[in-house]
Each structure stands twice: as C-alpha cells, then as structure tokens.
Amino acid sequence: QGADLSGARMIRFRVRGDGRKYTVSMASTGMTIPRSVLFDAGAEWKEVAIPFSAFAGVDASAVTMIGFNAGPQPGDYRFEIADVRLVDR
C-alpha cells in the first residue's frame, strides 16, 4: 500500500558530495520501474528542489518508494543528503 503524499508538490533536500551526478527516484503503486531525476552533488552544501511533476507517471496519492542512487557505473561514490522535506511549494 502506498503513502498518500498528495499534499506535497515537491521534494527538497540538501546535498554535497564528490561532484558527480546522482538520482532521486520515486515510484507508486502498480509501477514496475521507478522514475528518476538527476541532481549534482558538488563539494559545498546546496539545496535541491524537484517538483513531483518531474517524476512522470507517479501517483502522489500512492507513493511506494523514494530513493537516492549512485551509478550505474561501478566505482566509488560519495554524497551526503540532509534535511529531506516533502513540501507544497
């Protein structure tokens, strides 16, 4: 059963890392492949805001997964996330 996140319009978080690109992914009930959006993780902390509309096909009233991912190439990765929020603006 998915979580009803329909009161939110975007995900906001702070990130820093090794300068590489990473993804935040989201899926909802009935989806077999999550939708992913790229973000950069530079050396300094920065805020990233991604509207739910960027996750095409995700039903915000039935979210089953939100994930932060590295890859797909093998290797060492380093990123930190903080202050993850689901907000309406």
pLDDT at residue 38, as a whole number: 96
Q: Model's pTM, two decimal places?
A: 0.91
pLDDT at residue 70, as a whole number: 94
Query: Between these two residues, 15 and 73, which has the higher pLDDT value?
Result: 15
pLDDT at residue 73, as a whole number: 86
- Hey, how many other C-beta atoms are within 10 angstroms of the C-beta on 62? 17
Q: What is the CA radius of gyration of the chain?
A: 13
DSSP string, the chain: --B--TT--EEEEEEEESS-EEEEEEEETT-SS-EEEEEE--SS-EEEEEEGGGSTT--TTSEEEEEEE--SS-S---EEEEEEEEE--
